[in-house]
Each structure stands twice: as C-alpha cells, then as structure tokens.
Amino acid sequence: MRKGRIDYRMQRRAVLRDVLAGLRDVQDVRDAHPDLVRAGTHIGSDVREDCPLCEDARLRHVTYVFRDRDRRAQGGRAVPRESLASQLDRYGDLAVYTVEVCLGCHWHHLVESYLLLARDTAAG
Ligand SMILES: [Zn+2]
C-alpha cells in the first residue's frame, strides 16, 4: 500500500515562476546529474506534458527507491516503475521518489514521494 504521499507540484511551480521572472538562473535548474539523465533515457516513463522550460517532448519520470525509510541509507536506486511490486516483494518497505527530468535541457525536479509498504502497519 501507498502511504504518506507528498506532492511537490507547488514547489515546482514556484521554481519555474522564479526562473521565468529572472529571479533564478535557468542554469541552476538545468543541472540534472548524468546518472539521472541516463536513467531517464533508459528506464524513465514518458510524461504527457512537454518540458516546462524548453518545450522538448522528451520529459521523463524516473522512479527511485530507498530501502531505508528514513533515507539514512546511502543513495537510492533508479528502477523501472513497473518493477515496484517486485521490488517491494524482494526488499520490503520502500521510500519511493519520482523525479522529472528533461532529456533535452536537463531540467529536473522532484514530483512526488511516498512510502510503499508491504503491509498496513497501522492495522497491526
Ligand atoms: Zn527541457
């Protein structure tokens, strides 16, 4: 089950507003790590909308999983979204982060985060 979903659309809009208003350098938000761009290319899922900065249609969502719920573990792993169920079976509870990345200009931003739990702990 999914739990504790956080939506980062408001933060995303605020960043874009600042960039468009010239309050923030566009290069600061087009600095996706090469690993993120690579993950977006190979295992990212297509996003219906275009990049908000360059209008490139190659906008992708990349799913990261962290085994430690508190994110103390070193680094998450980018995984295909379709594999989440099997990741949960194999590793147990996961923290999941969805990141948007543009393959054209390297814009990137966090989209959502949530916990994927093997069972409903609140019920136990
Ligand atoms: Zn772009």
Under the banding of pLDDT at 50, 70 and 90, the label for residue 124 is very low
The tally of CA atoms less than 13 A away on the side-chain side of residue 54 is 16
d(CA 50, CA 56): 6
Give the mean model confidence (pLDDT) for residues 49-53. 94
Residues contacting 28, CB < 8 A, separation 6+ = none
The predicted structure's pLDDT at residue 49? 92
* Each residue's pLDDT tens digit, 15-43: 999 999 999 999 999 999 999 999 999 99
What percent of the chain is predicted at pLDDT more than 90?
Answer: 80
Tokens at 74, concatenated: 């070193």
d(CA 82, CA 25): 35
Q: What residues sit around ligand 1, an ion, with C-beta below 5 angstroms?
A: 51, 53-54, 56, 102, 104-105, 107
Could you identify the residue written with the tokens 């994110």? 71
How remote is the CA of residue 109 from the centroid of ligand 1, in Å?
11
Under the banding of pLDDT at 50, 70 and 90, the label for residue 121 is low
How remote is the CA of residue 72 from the centroid of ligand 1, in Å?
31
How remote is the CA of residue 84 from the centroid of ligand 1, in Å?
27
How remote is the CA of residue 86 from the centroid of ligand 1, in Å?
32
d(CA 26, CA 112): 22
* Each residue's pLDDT tens digit, 63-85: 999 986 555 656 789 999 999 99
The tally of CA atoms less than 13 A away on the side-chain side of residue 35 is 7
pTM for the full predicted model:
0.88
Give the mean model confidence (pLDDT) for residues 90-104. 94
